[in-house]
């Protein structure tokens, strides 16, 4: 079966971002960008499904600026077969991304679509669920285990109190949680080979999708800073402070 | 203006996060209706009717809603939601699972994890793991929003007397089925609702050593949490994880033991009122947010702390 994996180019998770002085957003100039960590897990899961003989082809798609080609090449080096870039210079909201992905799903007809559960920049946790709604497919969000059997996929999900397992009819949408797998690194020969794999570029216009949004960001601020704390010398002093100064125990 | 709040519940019991979501609805202003969708939920519906400030409780009792499968519940919420100015749910794993599906069915953008209401169409929410706070404005006909519980003080669970009304919409979409679940059992308070949280990190060295934290927590009436490092190392189950990708907590007192304080962890706890850090590395970033820091070996400090509290 064909698996479609969505990946996003985001600021590297190790970067401590700074808010711009004019409060228009965070400063991403000259900041290291990477594939969103949850998307890496999605690519890894697709590759493992191919290694098990479950998946026959892996198509990886990204929606973003021209530079998102780097992340698509990374996915190709990890084992994806071909890539699609839907090029858009604007920062898109989840609904617009889901609509673009729906157009790609209509074109590619995958049996399984794997996304990360959330991107570490917008922290939205929406796109997979929205794509499921638009396609009418079932969704297995926050997956820590994915097992395809026949025309169904069993997904074990991380929920607040523990784990839940659901059986979804294929085609289905799965979003990855951290513990689904440990993503591999791309080897140098594979990085070289990935440069020759096909990468198709599309635009929202060509897909006939409007990316207009009903939500706009008015400003972005730094969070309130915590007052400087103190170091205590002993456990006794700590307990004393908690009882008399902070009055929390 | 009227607001639909999706109740968070376990069929037999209303979850506390519902009370924080109702508080957010009050901050927006308008008639507040609560939807209880599930199976055999009459007791939960009665509990919802008693919440202060709730005008009406809608009950959708159907076997298809028993396990909160989004394929079945989202069409119901989207259908009901058309009549409201706002649809709110708690940013729990359930709320996050269902609400974006509702928003897409209504063809509107969703706003995730708001921590403050500026006006009925303007909200604040953290982005980049809490390293920035965005103020966003929605012009959508129906504003679909998840609410971070720690951003709003819970309303009183008693004092209201809302009318209960049955709704008979929706059913089984037939695309998904519940297979089973494994819930972690705990007698301690729920992590997200606890007044005191004691968390352990990689410094605990193994799962056995978490018993030191359990004894301390029991003495304080606290919940026990963990960093992602401790969960990934297999010390404790993942539902104990505090952080950007785990649970967000804001207790009165947060005690971080053997936790370095990575960005991803801080995103889950830095709104706590008082933060205590116990770590033997005095350069650990956790000391930058801690109100009280103790540089010490946790295996000596924790038992001593337990004796003194």
- The string of pLDDT tens digits covering residues A223-245 is 988 877 999 999 999 999 999 98
Bridging pattern class, strands B122-127 and B132-138: antiparallel
- Can you tell me the distance from the alpha carbon of B100 to that of A175, in angstroms, rounded to the nearest whole number? 13
Mark whether B7 and B156 lie in a shared domain: yes
User: Do A214 and B253 count as a contact with CB atoms less than 8 A apart?
Assistant: no
Looking at the domain assignment, is residue B184 inside a domain? no
Q: What pLDDT was estimated at residue A162?
A: 87
Confidence of residue A14 (pLDDT cuts 50, 70, 90): confident
Q: Which domains does chain A have, with CATH numbers?
A: 2-245 (3.40.50.620)
Q: Is residue B181 part of a domain?
A: no
CATH number at B146 reads 3.40.50.620
Closest CA to B279 of B268, B292, B266: B292
| Residue B111 assigned to a binding site | no
- B72 plus B27 within the same structural domain: yes
3-state secondary structure of A238: helix
In this complex, which of A125, A216, A231 lies closest to B137 when CB atoms are compared? A216
Residue B7 inside a domain? The answer is yes
Same domain, B156 and B215: no
Is the Cα torsion angle A106, A108, A111, A114 positive or negative in sign?
negative
| Tokens coding B8 | 């968070």
Contact yes or no for B189/B240 (Cβ under 8 A): no
Same domain for B119 and B200: no
Q: Tell me the shortest Cα–Cα distance from B70 to chain A, in angstroms.
A: 8
* Count of residues in chain B: 309
Predicted confidence pLDDT, tens digits, chain B (309 residues): 899 999 999 989 999 999 999 999 999 999 999 999 999 999 999 999 999 999 999 999 999 999 999 999 999 999 999 999 999 999 999 999 999 999 999 999 999 999 999 999 999 999 999 999 999 999 999 999 999 999 999 999 999 999 999 998 788 999 999 999 998 777 889 898 899 999 999 999 999 999 999 999 999 999 999 999 999 999 998 889 999 888 999 999 999 999 999 999 999 999 999 999 999 999 999 999 999 999 999 999 999 999 998
Mean pLDDT of chain A: 96
Which of B146, B166, B186 delimits the end of a domain? B166
Contact A132 B308 (CB under 8 A): no
Alpha helices in chain A (DSSP H): 37-51, 69-78, 94-108, 127-135, 188-194, 204-207, 235-244
Mean pLDDT computed over A108-127: 97
**Residue B128 and residue B6 in one domain:** yes
Q: Tell me the residues of chain A between 147 and 176 that have a Cβ less than 8 Å away from chain B.
A: 154, 157-169, 172
Domain boundary among B125, B150, B166: B166
B8-12 LR contacts (CB < 8 Å, sep 24+): B8/B89, B8/B90, B8/B92, B8/B94, B8/B95, B9/B36, B9/B38, B9/B41, B9/B44, B11/B38, B11/B39, B11/B40, B11/B41, B11/B44, B11/B66, B12/B40, B12/B43, B12/B44
Residues B142 and B251 in one domain: no
Picking from A212, A214, A246 by the largest number of B CB atoms within 10 A of its own CB, the best residue to mutate is: A214
Strands A57-64 and A82-87: parallel
Q: Is residue B127 part of a domain?
A: yes
Indicate if B132 and B223 belong to the same structural domain: no
pLDDT of residue B158: 94
- Structural domain count, chain B: 2
Task: Please check if B108 is assigned to a binding site.
Answer: no
Domain with B229 in it: 196-308
Is residue B44 located within the same domain as residue B135?
A: yes
Domain match, B162 and B266 both: no
The verdict on A190 touching B (C-beta cutoff 8 Å) is no
Q: B211 with B160, same domain?
A: no
Chain A residues touching B263 at Cβ < 8 A: 13, 16
Say yes or no: B252 and B149 in one domain.
no
Is B52 a domain residue? yes
What are the structure tokens assigned to A112, written together?
């399984």
- Is residue B171 domain-resident? no
B177 found inside a domain:
no
Do B215 and B157 belong to one domain? no
Q: Is residue B284 one of the residues assigned to a domain? A: yes
pLDDT in tens, A133-159: 999 999 999 999 999 999 999 999 999
**Is A130 close to B291, i.e. CB distance below 8 A?**
no
B86 assigned ligand-binding residue: no
- Regarding pTM above 0.80, the answer is yes
Taking CB atoms and an 8 Å limit, are B292 and A16 in contact across chains? Answer: no
> Is B28 labelled as part of a ligand binding site?
no
* Facing A222 at nearest CB: one of B102, B132, B238: B132
| Of B147, B166, B185, the domain-final residue | B166
pLDDT of residue B92: 95
Which token pair is A156?
């074990």
Task: List beta partners, residue B125.
Answer: B134
> What's the confidence (pLDDT) of residue B245?
85
Q: In this complex, how many residue pairs, one in chain A and one in chain B, have their CB atoms less than 8 Å apart?
A: 251
Is the CB of A142 inside 8 Å of chain B's CB atoms?
yes
What CATH number is associated with residue B270?
3.40.50.1220
B160 is in an annotated binding site: no
8 Å CB contact of A124 and B183 = no
């Amino acid at each position: 079966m064909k698996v479609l994996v969505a990946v996003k180019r985001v600021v590297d998770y190790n970067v401590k971002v700074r808010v711009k002085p004019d409060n228009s957003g965070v400063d991403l100039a000259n900041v290291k960008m990477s594939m969103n960590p949850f998307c890496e897990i999605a690519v890894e899961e697709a590759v493992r499904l191919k290694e098990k003989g479950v998946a026959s082809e892996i198509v990886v798609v990204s929606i973003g600026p021209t530079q998102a080609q780097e992340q698509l090449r990374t996915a190709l080096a990890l084992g994806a077969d071909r890539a699609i870039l839907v090029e858009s210079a604007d920062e898109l909201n989840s609904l617009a991304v889901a609509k673009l992905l729906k157009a790609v799903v209509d074109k590619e007809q995958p049996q399984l679509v794997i996304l990360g559960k959330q991107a570490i920049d917008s922290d939205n946790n929406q796109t997979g669920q929205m794509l499921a709604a638009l396609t009418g497919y079932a969704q297995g969000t926050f997956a820590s285990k994915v097992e395809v059997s026949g025309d169904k996929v069993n997904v074990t999900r991380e929920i607040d109190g523990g784990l839940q397992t659901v059986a979804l009819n294929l085609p289905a949408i799965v979003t990855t949680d951290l513990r689904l797998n440990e993503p591999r690194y791309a080897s140098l020969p594979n990085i070289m080979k990935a440069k020759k794999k096909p990468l198709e570029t599309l635009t929202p216009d060509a897909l006939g999708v409007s990316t207009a949004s009903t939500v706009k960001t008015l400003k972005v601020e730094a969070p309130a800073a915590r007052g400087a704390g103190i170091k205590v010398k002993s456990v006794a002093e700590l307990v004393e402070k908690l009882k008399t100064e902070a009055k929390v125990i | 203006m009227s607001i639909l709040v999706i109740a968070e519940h376990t069929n037999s019991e209303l979850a506390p996060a519902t009370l924080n979501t109702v508080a957010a609805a009050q901050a927006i202003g308008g008639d507040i209706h609560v939807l209880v969708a599930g199976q055999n939920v009459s007791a939960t519906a009665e509990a919802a009717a008693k919440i202060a400030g709730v005008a009406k409780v809608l009950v959708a009792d159907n076997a298809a809603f028993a396990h909160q499968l989004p394929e079945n519940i989202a069409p119901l919420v989207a259908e009901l939601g058309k009549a409201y100015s706002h649809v709110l749910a708690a940013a729990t794993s359930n709320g996050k699972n269902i609400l974006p599906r509702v928003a897409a069915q209504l063809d509107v953008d969703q706003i995730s994890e708001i921590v403050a209401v500026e006006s009925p169409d303007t909200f604040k929410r953290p982005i980049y793991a809490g390293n920035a706070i965005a103020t966003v404005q929605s012009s959508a006909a129906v504003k679909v929003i998840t609410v971070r519980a720690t951003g709003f003080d819970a309303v009183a669970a008693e004092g209201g007397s809302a009318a209960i009304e049955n709704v008979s919409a929706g059913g089984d979409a037939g695309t998904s089925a519940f297979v089973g679940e494994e819930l972690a059992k705990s007698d301690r308070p729920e992590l997200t609702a606890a007044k005191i949280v004691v968390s352990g990190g990689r410094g605990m060295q193994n799962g056995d050593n978490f018993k030191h934290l359990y004894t301390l927590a029991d003495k304080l009436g606290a919940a026990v949490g963990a960093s992602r490092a401790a969960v990934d190392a297999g010390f404790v189950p993942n539902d104990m994880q505090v952080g950007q990708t785990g649970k967000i907590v804001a207790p009165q007192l947060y005690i971080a033991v053997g936790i370095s304080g990575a960005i991803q962890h801080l995103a889950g706890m830095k709104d706590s009122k008082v933060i205590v850090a116990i770590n033997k590395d005095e350069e650990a970033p956790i000391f930058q947010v801690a109100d009280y820091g103790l540089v010490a070996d946790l295996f000596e400090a924790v038992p001593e702390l337990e004796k003194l509290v």
